[in-house]
Structure 1
């Protein structure tokens, strides 16, 4: 429930507007699952939780709708997005194709300095406490995100706008929610290293193949998750 939510602590830059700050705080809460998928957004509750007036709050909500994190439901209002199984698989099919292309272009276009920075990103991921404990994968955004760095390194502005703009936070939301699948963090880390090696070797064809396989593995994990949920529901109903 929103009234039980501890507001995320995000430092506010002196030049940052109140609307921008609350936008980032609500965005983080949605992406991390602190405000659950499908939750109805109550403006009065959010205004009390974040100590903000309705004007800046509505501006933040409008921006979150633009990122597809919130959806408008007729006669209900705004809700946190909750993709169906089919919609989620479609999103991962888009990722598989477009991030594969981005990886191929990155192998051709990233500078040696950018590749070294990408390697340091993975070193940071390996030191993360959740990863070391085997309970999750490092989930910071932007320049600390392995996928984000590769997309930026593709040098294709249209591709970057699609994957790092319109779809980015929606994709992050589901990446985080499924990052705790048993054994997946270690597997993903090993796959990231193989992708990085292909990029460093300037083997665009292999880099694309490995990225597509990497995202394909995540897509299969999602399919299994939904299948397990369906089987459990059927068992509870006494279905065979």
Structure 2
């Protein structure tokens, strides 16, 4: 396994800054400013920006330059429709392949999330990523490499951006956690139909919260 390069590390830092809203939607990507901010040369920076562009987090606009994508209702509907279908499929396949050890680890993860929500008094439940993310673990447990590639590589950061920036503002973390526990119980029972139904309903609920926020935001402009 190769060691992470300066560009790799910078890519991860920029991704998290964009997803968290530190770099707001629509904000211009200034190479000189970022070069000074992260104390890196323009070469690794440009490489990192190109990688992030392929993830859909940055777009290039003619005569304007590179900008952080602007979250839109149309794009939200497209992403969540794909996510609902693919994650529904993933959790069905996870019912077939998830091991007892993985279920035990998933239960521990949800318990830690439960404690986290108590610690922050329900303020947030959407900053987890990678192995700390319930959805990520379930997708990995599907053992379907195409689904994993689509959901954990191509769409993952864009989905996280929507989840964090919208759900955090109109969130119901206790309800989300309850739904995760329900999906977990269906996984333990190896109930493919129930697990898919619960996952699809859970994702639709997240979409509705995000759409509601977008609509209200538009009305307040």
Give the shorter-chain TM-score range.
over 0.9
Q: 1:150 aligns with which of 138, 142, 148?
A: 138
- Residues 40-59 of structure 1 aligned to structure 2 (within 5 Å): 40-59=28-47
4+ runs deviating over 4 angstroms: none
Distance in 2 (CA, whole Å) between partners of 1:225 and 1:179 is 9
1:27-48 per-residue CA deviation (whole Å, 9 max, x = no partner) reads: 1101111001111100000000
Matched, 1:85 2:73: yes
| Cα distance change on mapping 1:140 and 1:110 into 2, 3 Å | same
Unaligned runs of 5+ in 1: 1-13, 234-240
* Equivalences, count: 220
RMSD: 1.6
Q: Which has the larger Rg?
A: 1
Distance in 2 (CA, whole Å) between partners of 1:183 and 1:131 is 16
1:65-98 per-residue CA deviation (whole Å, 9 max, x = no partner) reads: 1111111111221111113211111111111111
Distance in 2 (CA, whole Å) between partners of 1:210 and 1:41 is 39
Measured after TM superposition, the shift of residue 180 of structure 1 is 2.2
Distance in 2 (CA, whole Å) between partners of 1:219 and 1:53 is 39
Measured after TM superposition, the shift of residue 129 of structure 1 is 5.5
Unaligned runs of 5+ in 2: none
Q: 1:25 aligns with which of 6, 13, 24?
A: 13
Match of 2:155 in 1: 167
Matched, 1:195 2:183: yes
Measured after TM superposition, the shift of residue 163 of structure 1 is 0.1
Length-normalised TM-score, structure 1: 0.87
Given that 1:110 and 1:154 are in contact with CA atoms closer than 8 Å, whether structure 2 keeps it comes out as yes
Given that 1:98 and 1:159 are in contact with CA atoms closer than 8 Å, whether structure 2 keeps it comes out as yes
Q: 2:216 aligns with which of 219, 222, 228?
A: 228
Measured after TM superposition, the shift of residue 222 of structure 1 is 1.5
Measured after TM superposition, the shift of residue 18 of structure 1 is 1.4
Measured after TM superposition, the shift of residue 231 of structure 1 is 3.5
Match of 1:75 in 2: 63
Match of 1:120 in 2: 108
Distance in 1 (CA, whole Å) between partners of 2:176 and 2:117 is 16
